[in-house]
Chains A and B, each alone.
Chain A
Amino acid sequence: MAELFIQSAVRITSDQVWVDGEKISIKKEEEVSWLTNIYRNLDIQYPKFFKMDNLCKAGFLAAEMLMGKSGLEPTEEKRDWSVLLFNRSSSLDNDQSYQQTIADSANYFPSPAVFVYTLSNIVTGEIAIRNKIMGESCSYIMDNFDADILYETGLIGLSEGKGIDHLLIGWVEFLDDTCDVLLFHVTKEKNGKTICPWNNVGIKKFFL
């Protein structure tokens, strides 16, 4: 079995951010949300961020931090990169918001801008669009985080013959103000930036 490597790992919870296992200090402004605070700390200009639902914002921010470390420009086409994301609640955080727009027949206002985020794979699309990632994309749902399945999916994602050399792979979950993200940049090649091998132990190490 081929050996794969973690180039970097980003962990975002409801009040902390870690990059490669090191806690990052986020300057907080009271009037904006936690995810917006993280966005403002990243020094990027991407107005589409503010249109996204919370799940997409969370995945987008983790991807931004990983891609920033990769040294590649967002505008550079990436045909050999894939985005493979797991979670528990699908897009339920936004689904609940959408449900409110159709619950009351006297106040019925379904909006395409909200409905489009009622799919769990939209976050893979947002990350792909931002970074011109044109390899595989998939949204996987399971009740609990499973490092073995994540590991196995990584091996398959970078298996021979696919033409894929990089993965953004991990757990991206957001529901009712609770953020639970662990996203990895995984490669076939080991280089100076590699932080550890892609295996069960390596994956769990960053689940802080």
Chain B
Amino acid sequence: MIYKISDNIISPLGYSSEENYQNMKNGISKAVLHQHAFNLPEPFFGSLLNWEEIEAQFSQLPQKACRYTRFEKIAILSAYKAIEAAKIDASSKDVLFVLSSTKGNIHLLENSDGFDKNRINMGTSANLLGEYFNNPNPVMVISNACTSGVVAQIYAKEMMEAKGYKYAVVVGADILSKFVISGFQSFKALSTERCKPFDLNRKGLNLGEGAASIVLEQSDNVPEGALCILGTGNRNDANHISGPSRTGEGLFNAITAAYAFKQAFKESLSFINAHGTATPYNDDMESWAISRSELENIPTNSLKGFLGHTLGAAGVLECIISCHALNEGIILPTLGHDTKGVVKEITVNTELKHGEGNSFLKIISGFGGSNAAIIYGKK
């Protein structure tokens, strides 16, 4: 079995998973209106990292003779904290590193900041991540739009099973830039106020930035209470490059693949953590997929109201928060949701409440027709 042994989140809500989780439990959001960030002509609503604090944290780590970009710093910082908590030797060939990101160092296109042109290649950042920890294995980047963070966990699990790695460190990271925000603005995909997942009046998403890391272990002797990856699915919609299938076909297929031969896990399901970006199309599509999977009575939440969509970090970050909630028997609310307004009947969770069951389903979808699902739970 593959199970999670430690994790970390670096976000505007804090520098550990616990801090992030407690802040979410307390209903704290860091998504706010930014008038002039990144010299953008329009304001945008989202959550931004505090770089002074990040620099201070990073300076506490063992230093290497290498100058790192901001993107690399949060990835290394998050991985370092997760590895420290896991008490593993990351320089061992038994440890596989996987990096999830949508755009990596893309901000260097605007200002190279003295870095070599090749530094925009995400493979270069991935190699530097591995080198920081003296890890001998190639570090793969999974860049699969919004689904990257979940697909990276699936990649890690499958590579561990195929190649016998004892551990994997899955790091998801993205930072915001004029490049990324202007693009989403050109799509008219961003809300100018706090996003409202699954709401009748939802007007688009908020963006966020951060890094999140999960350390996985492969063992036949899973410790009591540890959360295992019980199922995974990855399916394409084959419908449109920038819009999901209206009826949630690809996501429904990904959920079905995750539950293949494992219907029993459906009965132990505590909650669904949806993508819930609060764009009109995404949330309707997810309601279709949840309903077609006959999971419409399972409490479903979206965490986008707390931090916005953290892109390549989101799939990792939201799995970590959901693991912490499952361990505590809690279901987090969908911050920003007021009046239900999706085409298919689903159970949007709106308040902090006690959860029954010992597994959760994480779903996520993105551009390029990609959809992914992962089930974490007690064995």
Residues of A bordering B, CB below 8 Å: 79, 83, 88-90, 92, 95-96, 98-99, 102-103, 105, 108, 110-112, 115-116, 118-126, 128-129, 131-144, 146, 149, 152, 155-156, 159, 161-163
Contact = CB atoms under 8 A, between A and B. Distances in A.
B143 A90 contact: yes
A105 B38 CA distance: 12
Given A83-B236, A110-B185, A129-B239, A122 B368 contact: yes
B183 A129 contact: no
A108 B41 contact: yes
Interface residues of B, number: 57
Interface of B: 39, 41, 102-104, 106, 109-110, 120-124, 126-127, 138, 140-145, 151, 155, 158-159, 162-163, 178-179, 182-188, 234-242, 249-250, 253, 257, 260-261, 366-370
Contacts of A83: 236
Contacts of A136: 234-236
Contacts of B103: 118
19 contacts: A79-B253, A83-B236, A90-B143, A92-B121, A98-B179, A99-B109, A99-B179, A110-B183, A118-B103, A118-B183, A121-B366, A125-B369, A129-B241, A134-B249, A138-B142, A138-B234, A142-B140, A161-B260, A162-B257
A161 B262 CA distance: 12
A159 B162 CA distance: 10
A163 B261 CA distance: 12
B110 A143 contact: no
A102 B162 CA distance: 44
B162 A155 contact: yes
Given A112-B242, A137-B368, A142 B141 contact: yes
Contacts of A132: 238
Contacts of B261: 161
B162 A140 contact: no
Contact of A120 (B143, B159, B162): B143
A98 B367 contact: no
Nearest to B250: A134
Nearest to B144: A121
Contacts of A161: 260-261
A192 to B, nearest CB: 28
A81 to B, nearest CB: 9
A134 B253 contact: yes
A9 to B, nearest CB: 22
B236 A141 contact: no
A162 B258 CA distance: 10
Nearest to A130: B238
Contact of A128 (B123, B141, B178, B369): B369
A123 B237 CA distance: 13
Nearest to B180: A118
Given A137-B236, A149-B138, A125 B367 contact: yes
Most chain A beta-carbon neighbours within 10 Å: one of B39, B179, B260: B179
Contacts of B242: 112, 116
A140 B141 contact: yes
A119 B179 contact: no
A105 to B, nearest CB: 7
A116 B123 contact: no
A79 B236 CA distance: 9
A120 B101 CA distance: 11
B236 to A, nearest CB: 4
Given A110-B183, A128-B369, A143 B236 contact: no
Nearest to B106: A95
A90 B260 contact: no
A8 to B, nearest CB: 21
A139 B144 contact: yes
A131 B238 CA distance: 8
B187 A112 contact: yes
B209 to A, nearest CB: 17
Contacts of A108: 41
A120 B127 CA distance: 19
Contacts of B143: 90, 119-121, 139-141
Contact of A143 (B123, B178, B238, B367): B123
A121 B145 contact: yes
A-B interface, 10 closest residue pairs, ranked by CB to CB distance from nearest: A125-B368, A143-B123, A115-B183, A141-B141, A110-B186, A121-B368, A137-B236, A128-B238, A125-B369, A136-B234
